[in-house]
Chains A and B, each alone.
Chain A
Amino acid sequence: MSRRFDAVLVAACALALAFLALPLAAVFLRVSPVELFAQLGNPAAVDALLVSLKTSLIASGLVLCVGTPAAYLLATRRFRGRAVALTLIELPLVLPPAVAGIALLAAFGRRGLLGGTLDALGVSIPFTQAAVVLAVVLVASPFYLRAAIAAFESVDTGLLEASRTLGASPARTFRRVALPLAAPGLGAGATLAFARGLGEFGATIMFAGSLQGRTQTLPLMIYAQLDRDFDVALAVGALLVLVSLAVLLAVKLLPSWTRFTSISPSRSAPSTSL
């Protein structure tokens, strides 16, 4: 009885692994690695790589600069509407990318909510690199915010209080105690958000279009090259698989590099977890 059940479990597990690994293996098995990376010299691929790197870095910078203090507030203060704010942050995680794209158009587009105001200022966002950045921020920031809130919540409030009684202002306490102690979690969250942003497709293509050298990121370039040159598309795909793998390993290894032996257990339970 138990042996038959074990066989079912093993079979299900093997099927799942095979299904998940097969497409990834196919990317590398169809063409040899050397040949694949030779295709990366293709001008469209180079352009897409540059656009992707530039927009992802800018978006990551924005997410870190605004998201870190926002997460600290949400993690350390209790106020009315906090639960609503936490839910709002997680909404983009479950939002279909196409909806995110159309929502961005509805907000920042020519005839959108802020369209008139932006027009008056002589700013037009859709189909520019700024649009790519906004789309990436929208879909990637929840990954960072969730991780950052959890990281700050796991910092013992007793340590923050100790810092205050030692004469440190709230700002200095944030800088010298909360930030370094939350750093491993923040790093993991930033890495995940960066990876999610790099792969962004749906919202970008609707809001920013796919103009080579301007708004065509790596995933958009794969889509554009699909009919033209399958091998170039595959080469870029392989590149993204390697980047994703590196990100995953970094997230799994990062906390163990920098973990401190904490003396006192955390007093607040995390409200979100990865």
Chain B
Amino acid sequence: MDTLHLDLTVPLRAFDLALALEVGDEPVALAGPSGAGKTTALRAVAGLTAGARGRVAAGDEIWLDTDAGIDRPPEQRSVGFVFQDYALFPHLTVEQNVGFADRGRAGELLERLGIAHLASARPGSLSGGERQRVALARALARAPRVLLLDEPTAALDAHTRAAVRVELHDLLRELRLPALLVTHSFEEAAALAGRVGVLVGGKLVQLGAPADLVARPADPFVASFTGGNLIPGIASRREGGLTEIVLETGGFLYSTDGLEGRVGVVVHPWEVSVAREPPGDSTLNHVRAPIVAMTPAGNRVRIRVGPLVAELTAASAERLGLEPGVVAVASFKATAARLVPLA
């Protein structure tokens, strides 16, 4: 199995995209806000972006090497590209779409992706989930060395998305191909990829397993991108290995992280408990404020208490008599409060 190496610089309108990355047997997701250069990175690997500089190689095959004057056109880079809007050929049937690159493999791939019954349908008559599979089958028909997926489930409704993510997760691991995917959703990145690179303003701010990004965010964006609360303040060391953070809104919090100066306190919703009165345990951090909003999510409910979002089971929220307007105390441990430097 090949490894995809890339070390790229692409000038964009507002900034340069600079990305160095190796993709092996574990799918890698590039995640981040819109306009961060995620799609540009994929397009540069496929040879669809003019002005890309640096190196791109799939195994021993060099696709781009600016210093050596190599820049292969897209058709000579063996990629399977699944476009965000799928870009299926509307004038061809499903079978012709899949067989566009190699007619011989169309039948097998239609079977494999469970779309053989759609062989003679035109893309215009397919559902979103079906189009997604056709796009995947078409990309794989070329027997590519690298698979590139741009927002693979963004065009789908929420219900289909969940099912497609499961299928895609399994398929990506079966294929044994270096796969690079792009998404604006951390949830999707974590569901599909073994490693997630967070791209902000053209720079890779952090690359790691999804659980690492959640546990040890390197920067305020990563913290809020992974769903954490981010509360700004000024940190200073106290004895006993504790750091005290004076919040901009008044009050203070404690963390076991050793950082000083302007910081963001990061805590995840499932690490915050909510009650009418502070719990009588060792928990150091308490924020007392009225409940601003309560949003149900499955059997859990997300509760906004002042600057914090907490996640509780719906049952305990009801048992504690929590409802909007009620003054409550949101508490979390000093070990759960991670600090990231703020500019």
Within 8 A of B (CB), among A141-163: 156, 158-159, 161-163
Q: For chain A, what secondary structure do more than half of its interface residues adopt (helix, strand, loop), or is it mixed?
A: helix
Stretch with Cβ within 8 A of B (4 or more), from A22-30, A58-66, A176-184: A176-184
Task: Check B81 against A165 for contact (C-beta < 8 Å).
Answer: yes
A45 to B122, CA, bound (A): 49
B83 an interface residue at 8 Å Cβ cutoff?
A: yes
Q: A15 CB to closest chain B CB, in angstroms?
A: 44
Q: For chain B, what secondary structure do more than half of its interface residues adopt (helix, strand, loop), or is it mixed?
A: loop
Task: Check B101 against A166 for contact (C-beta < 8 Å).
Answer: yes
A264 to B89, CA, bound (A): 10
Q: A115 CB to closest chain B CB, in angstroms?
A: 45
Chain A residues, CB < 8 A from B174: none
Q: Which one of B77, B85, B125, B139 lies within 8 Å of A261 (CB-CB)?
A: B125
> 7 nearest interchain CB pairs?
A261-B124, A164-B74, A260-B90, A162-B87, A165-B81, A264-B85, A166-B101
Task: Check A263 against B91 for contact (C-beta < 8 Å).
Answer: no
Q: B60 CB to closest chain A CB, in angstroms?
A: 19
Task: Check B75 against A263 for contact (C-beta < 8 Å).
Answer: no
Chain A residues, CB < 8 A from B125: 261
Chain B residues, CB < 8 A from A180: 91
Interface residues of B (CB under 8 A from A): 46-48, 73-75, 77-81, 83, 85-91, 100-101, 122-125, 131, 138-139, 141-142
Chain B residues, CB < 8 A from A169: 75
Task: Check B73 against A263 for contact (C-beta < 8 Å).
Answer: no
Chain B residues, CB < 8 A from A165: 46, 48, 74-75, 77, 79-81, 139
Chain A residues, CB < 8 A from B87: 156, 158-159, 161-162, 263-264
Q: A151 CB to closest chain B CB, in angstroms?
A: 13
A-B contact pairs, 12 of them (CB 8 A): A161-B83, A165-B74, A165-B79, A169-B75, A177-B89, A181-B89, A260-B91, A260-B122, A262-B90, A263-B90, A263-B123, A263-B131
A263 to B90, CA, bound (A): 7
Task: Check B48 against A164 for contact (C-beta < 8 Å).
Answer: yes
A181 to B88, CA, bound (A): 12
Task: Check B90 against A181 for contact (C-beta < 8 Å).
Answer: yes
Give A159's nearest chain B residue, CB to CB: B87
Q: A261 CB to closest chain B CB, in angstroms?
A: 3
Give A160's nearest chain B residue, CB to CB: B87
A254 to B83, CA, bound (A): 31
18 further interface pairs, Cβ-Cβ under 8 Å (given A164-B75, A165-B79): A158-B83, A159-B89, A161-B87, A164-B48, A165-B48, A165-B77, A167-B101, A168-B101, A176-B100, A177-B89, A181-B90, A260-B124, A262-B90, A263-B86, A263-B87, A263-B88, A263-B123, A264-B86
Chain A residues, CB < 8 A from B46: 165
A164 to B89, CA, bound (A): 13
Chain B residues, CB < 8 A from A261: 90, 122-125
Q: Please indicate which of the listed interface residues B81, B86, B100, B141 has the most CB atoms of chain A within 10 Å of its own CB.
A: B100
Q: Which one of B83, B91, B141 lies within 8 Å of A162 (CB-CB)?
A: B83
Task: Check B91 against A181 for contact (C-beta < 8 Å).
Answer: yes
Chain B residues, CB < 8 A from A162: 81, 83, 87-89
Given A158-B83, A263-B88, A263-B90, A168 and B100 contact (CB-CB distance below 8 Å): yes
Q: A173 CB to closest chain B CB, in angstroms?
A: 8
Interface residues of A (CB under 8 A from B): 156, 158-159, 161-170, 176-177, 180-181, 260-264
Q: A35 CB to closest chain B CB, in angstroms?
A: 48
A264 to B78, CA, bound (A): 24
Chain A residues, CB < 8 A from B47: 164
Chain B residues, CB < 8 A from A167: 75, 78, 101, 142
A168 to B83, CA, bound (A): 16
Task: Check B85 against A263 for contact (C-beta < 8 Å).
Answer: yes
A162 to B79, CA, bound (A): 11
A181 to B123, CA, bound (A): 14
A263 to B79, CA, bound (A): 22
Q: Which one of B48, B88, B141 lies within 8 Å of A161 (CB-CB)?
A: B48
Chain B residues, CB < 8 A from A166: 75, 100-101, 138-139, 141-142
A20 to B139, CA, bound (A): 56
Q: B229 CB to closest chain A CB, in angstroms?
A: 38
Chain A residues, CB < 8 A from B75: 164-169
Q: A156 CB to closest chain B CB, in angstroms?
A: 7
Q: A29 CB to closest chain B CB, in angstroms?
A: 46
Task: Check B90 against A161 for contact (C-beta < 8 Å).
Answer: no
Chain B residues, CB < 8 A from A158: 83, 85, 87
Chain A residues, CB < 8 A from B73: 164, 170
Give B73's nearest chain A residue, CB to CB: A164
A164 to B142, CA, bound (A): 12
Q: A183 CB to closest chain B CB, in angstroms?
A: 8
Chain A residues, CB < 8 A from B48: 161, 164-165
Chain A residues, CB < 8 A from B86: 263-264
A180 to B90, CA, bound (A): 10
Q: B95 CB to closest chain A CB, in angstroms?
A: 14
A262 to B125, CA, bound (A): 10
Give A261's nearest chain B residue, CB to CB: B124
Task: Check B74 against A161 for contact (C-beta < 8 Å).
Answer: yes
